Structure 1
C-alpha cells in the first residue's frame, strides 16, 4: 500500500512540475538563501580577513544575491573546520570552507583525526599565493644565496612546526645549508624584531599579508630577500628560487611536496556532493569577484596582492599532492624536523599536528 501511495505522489509532483531541491537550477537556488564561509582559524588572521573581504563582495555575482556570513571554527590547525565541511555541512552549496592550505598534505601524511579526502572537495579557488621567502638582515656576512653553503647563518624560528620553521629545517637537513636554527620566538613579528637587533641574521616568512606588514622590511633597506621556496622565482623580487640549489630528483620531489602547501594560497572549497551546476556557479562567481573594482580597491588599501587561482587549478594542485609517493612523504616528514629531533618522537610536521588533540 505504501509503495502505491508513493507512486501516486510521485506522479502528482511530476504532473504539477514540482522540482526537487537538489534539481533546482543553480540560477534560482540561491534566492533568499544564506551562504556560510567556515574559516578554520580565529578572527583577525589572514584567512579570516580574506573570507570577510570575499563575503562583502561575492554576493553580487551569485544570482539571487544571497547573504554571505563568516563563521570562525578554530581548532587543531583548521582540522576541525575541514572535517566539518566534509562530513557535517549541507551538500547543497550553502556552506563553503576556507581551511589551512596544509590540509591536503595532512590527509596525505595520514595525520590523526583527518576525516576527509581532499580530492573529493569541490575546490572553488584561491585569491592569492603568499610566497614563502628567507628574509636576511643586510648586516649579515651572507651576501648571496650560495654563501649559505660556505658560511653559517643564524636563522630564527618559532619552534612550532609551521612553514616558517619547517622550511629552514628542510634546507639544512636536505640541501646542506649551514643554518644554525634558533627556536623559541613567539611570532614572525618577534623574529623581525630579533633580526633588527642582530640577535639573528635571518628568518622565513611570507612576503605578503594584510596591511603589507612584510614588504616594508625590504623597502626600508633593513632586510633583503635571499630566495623563495616555490619552484619558480617570484616576479619582481629579483632573487632565485631555492630549487636552483636542488641536486637530485629526490630532493626536488621533497621540496615540491613542501612547496605545494604554499602554492595553494588561501584555498576555498565546497563539500563533496554539491550539484555540479552550483559548484560551477560558485567558481565563476569567485572568479568575477576577484576582478570586482570595489574588491580590488579594498584589497589594495589592505596591501593584499591578488593572485587568483581558479577552482580547477586548485583541484589540480591538490590531486598532485595526493599523488605524492609515500616514501617521499615519509622522508619529507623526517627532514622537516630540527636535526636534534630527527631521532626523537616529534609529533608535528608541515604546520599540522600529527596528534592534533594531544
Structure 2
C-alpha cells in the first residue's frame, strides 16, 4: 500500500453478483486509467480533528490502495468561510484528471441551499463518487447538573453556550433544534470546524456541543467515559419511509424528536419543525459526499467508484469501519446519486423561512462571516 495521510491535508447471491460487477468495473476502469506514481489531493474544507477530517483520513489509505496504480492519497485541510473557501478553490482550480477530489459535508450543502453569495460552486457540475450518511450526538457539560439523557429537561432556563462554525454551516441543525426546544443557547460564530468547537468545550468555554458520529466516537466518547461530557441525544436516522428513528450507532440515546418531547412535553410539529427537518435531512442522511470536478472523463469516475466498492470489501475496512464511522454504509452509483439529490435540494418556501429567521433572530446576513 502506497497511500499516505498528510498530517495537515451491506443474500449471498446479491453479494456475489455485486462483487463480480464491481470487479468487472474495476478491471475495465483499471485497464484505461492508472495513477501510478501520482499524488491525489483530497480537499477537506474544514480544519483537522472534526468529523469530515476523521472520515477522510480513515478512507484515504484504503481508497489509494484500490485506485489503479495505488497512488498516494493526501488529505488537504482548507478551512474557512463555513467550508465555502476550500470548496470554491476546488471548483475554480481542480482539473478533470482525477488527481483532486473534494469531500463535502452538510456545512458545504447548507450555504448552497440557502443561496449564500459566498458560494462560487455548483453541485450539479460535479461527478459524485461516494455518499456517506452519518449521524451526530449532542452533549453537555456536567456543570449544567445533567447526568444522563433522561435529565435533558434540566437545561431549560439555563444559559448555554455553543461554539458554531456559522449559522449557514451544518451547525444550522443544532441552531434550529435548540431553538425549537426553547433552550437559551448563545451561538458563538466563527469557529473553523467542529473539531475547534469540541476543543472549546474541553477548555470549558462552552457547555453544550455536538459532533458528527465519527468525531464523537473518536474524540467525545473518551470525555463521556471520563465524566467530563454527558450525551443528550442523537439527531436520529430515517427509515425507508422517511420516519425519524433512533440511530443504530447510538441505540441507547433518544433521537431528537424524543428529546424534544422530554423538554417540551409534546411531539414536534409545525413550520419550525418542518424547517429543522428539511435541513436535518440534507445535513445527515445525505451528509458527506466525495466529488470529482466538472468534465472528469467517465473512465476516471468509474475507476473511483470501483475503488470505493473494493475498499468496502477490504478486511481492514470491515474490521475498523464501525469503530470509526459507525453503522452507516458508504454508497456509490444510484444510491449515491439519490442521496446527492436529497442533500442539495430544498423548497423556496423553507429556504425563505430559514433565511428570514436567521436575519431576524440572529442578525445573520448571508454572505458575511456569520
Which of residues 134, 137, 150 in structure 2 aligns to 1:144? 150
Which of residues 309, 329, 334 in structure 2 aligns to 1:287? 309
Q: What is the match of residue 177 of structure 2?
A: 171
The count of residues paired between Structure 1 and Structure 2 equals: 317
Which of residues 269, 284, 298 in structure 2 aligns to 1:276? 298
2:145 is paired with a residue whose SS is coil
Structure 1 length normalisation: TM-score? 0.72
The Cα shift of 1:314 comes to 4.0
Which of residues 83, 87, 91 in structure 2 aligns to 1:86? 91
Q: Does 1:217 align with 2:228?
A: no
- Alpha carbons of structure 1 residues 255 and 276: separation in structure 2 relative to 1, 3 Å: same
Structure 1 gaps of 5+ residues are: 1-23, 349-353
Deviations 1:24-53 (A, max 9, x none): 955322253623322223455543454344
| 1:92-107 equivalence runs, <5 A | 92-107=97-112
The Cα shift of 1:169 comes to 3.4
2:301 is paired with a residue whose SS is helix
Deviations 1:285-330 (A, max 9, x none): 1232234233456668x85546332134443233124331112012
| 1:191-202 equivalence runs, <5 A | 191-192=201-202, 194=204, 200=207, 202=208
Which of residues 308, 317, 326 in structure 1 aligns to 2:329? 308
The Cα shift of 1:221 comes to 5.1
CA distance in 1, matches of 2:54, 2:41: 15
Pairwise CA RMSD: 3.7
2:307 is paired with a residue whose SS is helix
| 1:52-91 equivalence runs, <5 A | 52-91=57-96
Q: Does 1:118 align with 2:123?
A: yes
Contact in 2 for aligned 1:158/1:165 (Cα 8 Å): no
- Alpha carbons of structure 1 residues 117 and 220: separation in structure 2 relative to 1, 3 Å: same
Larger radius of gyration: 1
1:30 is paired with a residue whose SS is coil
Q: What is the match of residue 364 of structure 2?
A: 346
Structure 2 gaps of 5+ residues are: 1-27, 190-195, 237-243, 261-266
2:223 is paired with a residue whose SS is helix
Contact in 2 for aligned 1:135/1:205 (Cα 8 Å): no
1:187 is paired with a residue whose SS is helix
2:184 is paired with a residue whose SS is strand
Structure 2 length normalisation: TM-score? 0.70
CA distance in 2, matches of 1:142, 1:55: 36
Deviations 1:136-163 (A, max 9, x none): 63833996378379x4244321255266
1:140 is paired with a residue whose SS is coil
- Alpha carbons of structure 1 residues 238 and 52: separation in structure 2 relative to 1, 3 Å: closer
